[in-house]
């Protein structure tokens, strides 16, 4: 059955129904444990091994923080950091929430500015002089300072905005060096929601639960402005379909070392994570929802009943399928790992013949979808394509196109998008999906 897009009231009722179904699905998940690694699939690590692994992950984040600050915040420091440079960095990093440095550039004043910018000013002012002194004493910080500054420094440690060792270095240093500045912003990145947006690492013991919980929380969503534009583009045969994405889930991973893998079955994602673990690949992981919208052809028969993750919509004489899917985003430590991941997918997650039996993970596709921005991947395994997008509030409409179609489709997006800016990004995709875009392989 399909539903008509007749009135806003009907859409609202349908949306409510989908939300109820999603809640019931989360409470009564009857998918069983198909595709889920057994609970003991992660061997028990000693405390020493676990701490060593966590130290490696932390050191990887810190080591790359300078590069990350440049890419996402346009922040860099000279060897000698001035007050003007630091205030500029605070404004770029915290935006409208930035609190700038009063007085001289030194450790205590920088800590106060970061504390206030991070939203802990009111907490700091609840500290009594004695409480602040006791906290600093416990953390072996003995430098003399104004009572008000000691309150900010104590609450900065207690809120885990910066750790005690770094605070001690900042307070005791005669000047703020570039290394201290980078380390300071690195810790704020790692301890706040201003940096990467991700669930965890692929080898975390609880990553399977986090992925499944995240997937169960996804329900079909809509942005009327963008879906009207998308429907017109499909109706006029400018594109065959598009994705509608939620900007709040964007992972903000390093461009050169990240990869996006599209699919619609969560058990496939769970097995894929276990698969890359077995191949000694470790990456940061984010599950990003997307609604895949495409023309539903009459020869496919009567549509299935609508659920929280699928329905077919009637827009005039056009039938549009709306399917909940996901992009499984990875940030690896090197380009070599990106290439190895593609090789693993090609061998164990790509269907090559009908009724293919053993040798593939569950629900493998004929055309697995991989997307990267690293032009070092451009060889006989990855091919150039373009991602054309149009955003409205927290939603983005995206369509993947070939180079020869880019200008025409960008023009159509611009005409329908009005004053909204159309974004065009060069990307690279794997051969299977590239062949699909060309119409060579379309199973």
Res 13: pLDDT: 36
Res 11: pLDDT: 33
Sorted by where each begins, the domain ranges of the chain are 2-39+203-438, 59-190
Res 287: pLDDT: 98
Report how far Cα 252 is from the mean position of its chain's Cα atoms. Answer: 6
294 contacts: CB under 8 Å, gap ≥ 6: 234, 240, 241, 242, 320, 321, 323
Give the whole-angstrom CA distance, residue 320 versus residue 2.
9
Res 106: pLDDT: 93
Res 39: pLDDT: 43
Res 52: pLDDT: 52
Q: Can you give the pLDDT of all 443 residues of the chain as single tens digits?
A: 333 333 232 233 344 333 334 434 444 443 334 444 444 444 445 555 554 555 455 445 555 788 899 999 999 999 889 999 999 999 999 999 999 998 999 999 999 999 999 999 999 999 999 999 999 999 999 878 888 899 999 999 999 999 999 999 999 988 999 999 999 999 998 888 788 899 999 999 999 999 999 999 999 999 999 999 999 999 999 998 999 999 999 999 998 899 999 999 999 999 999 999 999 999 999 999 999 999 999 899 999 999 999 999 998 889 999 999 999 999 999 989 999 999 999 999 999 887 776 899 999 999 999 999 988 776 778 899 999 999 999 999 999 999 999 999 999 999 998 878 899 999 999 888 988 888 876 55
Res 61: pLDDT: 54
């Amino acid at each position: 059955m399909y539903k008509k897009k007749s009135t806003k009231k009907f859409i609202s009722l349908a949306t409510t129904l989908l939300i109820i179904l999603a809640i019931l699905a989360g409470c009564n998940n009857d998918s069983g444990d198909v595709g889920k690694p057994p609970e003991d699939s992660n061997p028990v690590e000693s405390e020493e091994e676990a701490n060593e692994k966590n130290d490696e992950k932390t050191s990887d984040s810190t080591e790359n923080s300078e590069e990350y600050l440049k890419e996402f915040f346009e922040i860099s420091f000279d060897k000698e950091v001035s007050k003007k440079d630091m205030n500029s960095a605070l404004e770029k990093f915290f935006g409208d929430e930035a609190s700038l440095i009063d007085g001289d550039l030194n450790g205590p004043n920088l800590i106060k500015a970061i504390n206030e910018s991070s939203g802990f000013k009111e907490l700091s002012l609840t500290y009594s002089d004695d409480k602040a002194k006791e906290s600093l004493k416990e953390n072996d910080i003995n430098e003399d300072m104004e009572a008000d500054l000691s309150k900010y420094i104590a609450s900065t440690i207690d809120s885990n905005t910066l750790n005690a060792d770094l605070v001690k270095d900042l307070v005791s240093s005669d000047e703020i060096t570039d290394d201290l500045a980078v380390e300071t912003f690195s810790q704020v990145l790692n301890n706040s929601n201003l940096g990467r947006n991700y669930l965890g690492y692929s080898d975390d013991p609880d990553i399977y639960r986090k992925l499944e919980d995240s997937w169960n929380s996804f329900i079909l969503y809509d942005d009327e402005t963008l879906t009207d534009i998308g429907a017109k583009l499909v109706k006029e045969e400018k594109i065959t379909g598009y994705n509608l994405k939620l900007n709040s889930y964007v992972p903000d991973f390093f461009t050169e070392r990240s990869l996006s893998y599209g699919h619609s079955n969560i058990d496939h994602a769970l097995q894929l994570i276990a698969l890359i673990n077995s191949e000694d690949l470790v990456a940061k992981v984010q599950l990003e929802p997307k609604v895949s919208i495409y023309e539903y052809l009459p020869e496919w028969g009567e549509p299935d009943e609508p659920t929280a993750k699928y329905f077919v919509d009637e827009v005039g004489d056009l039938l549009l399928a709306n399917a909940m899917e996901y992009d499984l985003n990875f940030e690896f430590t090197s380009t070599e790992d990106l290439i190895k991941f593609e090789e693993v997918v090609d061998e164990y997650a790509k269907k090559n013949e009908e009724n293919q039996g053993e040798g593939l993970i569950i629900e493998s596709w004929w055309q697995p979808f991989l997307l990267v921005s690293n032009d070092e991947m451009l060889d006989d395994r990855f091919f150039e394509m373009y991602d054309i997008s149009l955003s409205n509030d927290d939603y983005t409409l995206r369509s993947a196109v070939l180079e020869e179609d880019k200008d025409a489709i960008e023009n159509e997006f611009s005409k329908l998008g009005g004053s909204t800016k159309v974004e065009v990004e060069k990307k690279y995709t794997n051969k299977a999906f590239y062949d699909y875009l060309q119409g060579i392989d379309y199973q």
